[in-house]
Amino acid sequence: MSGLILISVALTALVGALCLLLYRQQIESLSKQRQIFKIANEQRELVRGIGIVVAEIEHNSEKLAENQRRITVKLDHLSTDILQRDLYQTTDDRHQLAINSAKQGMDLFELVQLHGLTSDEAALIISLHSPDSRIKNNITSSVVSEDPSEAELV
């Protein structure tokens, strides 16, 4: 019977050692799972931060595209303005020449024939720049009623 007790004690010690070994493996496995969970949470936070940065980059990219579009529009306007200024700064500009001719007293027909203007353009230039039309404009613009609703030009 003492052999049986010894075998029982040995088996109990063996089972205890196996349980202890399994317990240590479970603790190590649980520790590794916690580390993996911690790494996964850190990565999740990094991905969330990257998402926020990407959203900011997209927003800034849209703002840059809008600013570029506005700059392009302004550049087009400035180019047009510069071209127009260059066009009207030359001494051979037909409108400027027609204005000078109107100041010298040429009539509508002469402006149309000499400078290649339409009759409307010539009439406008004469009305604005002809010495005779200034006198007429000054006389007619000085006759105005005190009541704006009754204002009439003669």
Residue type, 53: V
Residue 85 has pLDDT above 90, yes or no: no
d(CA 6, CA 18): 18
User: Can you give the pLDDT at residue 96?
Assistant: 84
Residue 52 has pLDDT above 50, yes or no: yes
pLDDT-derived band at 58 (thresholds 50, 70, 90) equals: very high
pLDDT in tens, 110-133: 889 988 889 998 999 999 988 876
User: Can you give the pLDDT at residue 92?
Assistant: 62
**Encoded tokens for 102:** 């109107």
Residue 142 has pLDDT above 60, yes or no: no
CA distances from 78 to 64, 73, 88, 89 (A): 20, 9, 15, 16
Residue 143 has pLDDT above 60, yes or no: no
How big is the chain, counted in residues?
A: 154
Q: What is the pTM of this model?
A: 0.39
Nearest Cα residue to 111 out of 37, 100, 38 = 100
pLDDT in tens, 4-51: 899 999 999 999 999 999 999 999 999 999 999 999 999 999 999 999
User: Can you give the pLDDT at residue 94?
Assistant: 79
Three-state DSSP at 69 gives helix
Query: Please, which residues have CB within 8 angstroms of residue 28's CB and are 6 or more apart in sequence?
Result: none
**Encoded tokens for 41:** 């949470």
d(CA 126, CA 98): 9
pLDDT-derived band at 146 (thresholds 50, 70, 90) equals: very low
Measured from the Cβ of residue 101, the count of other Cβ atoms closer than 10 Å reads 20
